Amino acid sequence: MKWFYLILTLAAKRFAHSGGTQINPMDEIKDFIIENSLKIILAFTAASVISTLFVSGIVLTVINLTAQYDAGLQPKFTGIVAGGLGIILASLIVFAIGIFFATANLREDRKKARERLKENARHNGNSLEGALMLLVNDFIQDREHKRTHTNEEHEHSKENKNNEFKSNEEFERH
């Protein structure tokens, strides 16, 4: 979503020609990558460590249970099996904690984004309210103008009818 926003803002800047200094799009992309590169690297590292622990726990457990079975023994819960299951459980707990902290960070980012949007809405609200007021005032003035012209035409037509009526009366008298 951030990439889509970045591309959209770059396209908008190209078409806007605001007259200000133009920012090189490559610089913005580089800044975005530099700001988020540590997060990306940590996420890949954590994912690889967690998946390695999970797989090694499964492999350790399965190898021990199959070795017991191959020896002609009934598979039992041994220390190695417990260690393998412990590694699996530890990797799942670390994964859950990582997801919790990642979503907490996203929630804080969303809260900050909402606050910025509210602040921008307050600043832009005045101009938006002003534009809306201008539109409403224009509509009201247009309606008043139409009413005054309609009333003038109506009064003018009454006068014409009265004049016609008077002229008809004078004609009948003669």
| Tokens representing residue 91 in the block | 């990797």
| Tokens representing residue 109 in the block | 């980012």
pLDDT of amino acid 5: 65
Q: Are 91 and 61 in contact (CB under 8 A)?
A: no
Whole-number mean pLDDT of the chain? 76
Q: Tell me the DSSP string of 41-84.
A: HHHHHHHHHHHHHHHHHHHHHHHHHHHHHHTTPPP---HHHHHH
Residue 116 pLDDT > 60, yes or no? yes
The torsion region of residue 23 among left (phi > 0), alpha (psi -120 to 50) and beta comes to beta
The tens digit of pLDDT for each residue in 83-96 reads: 999 999 999 999 88
pLDDT of amino acid 166: 58
Residue 136 pLDDT > 90, yes or no? no
* 62 confidence band (pLDDT: 50, 70, 90): very high
Bigger pLDDT: 90 vs 123: 90
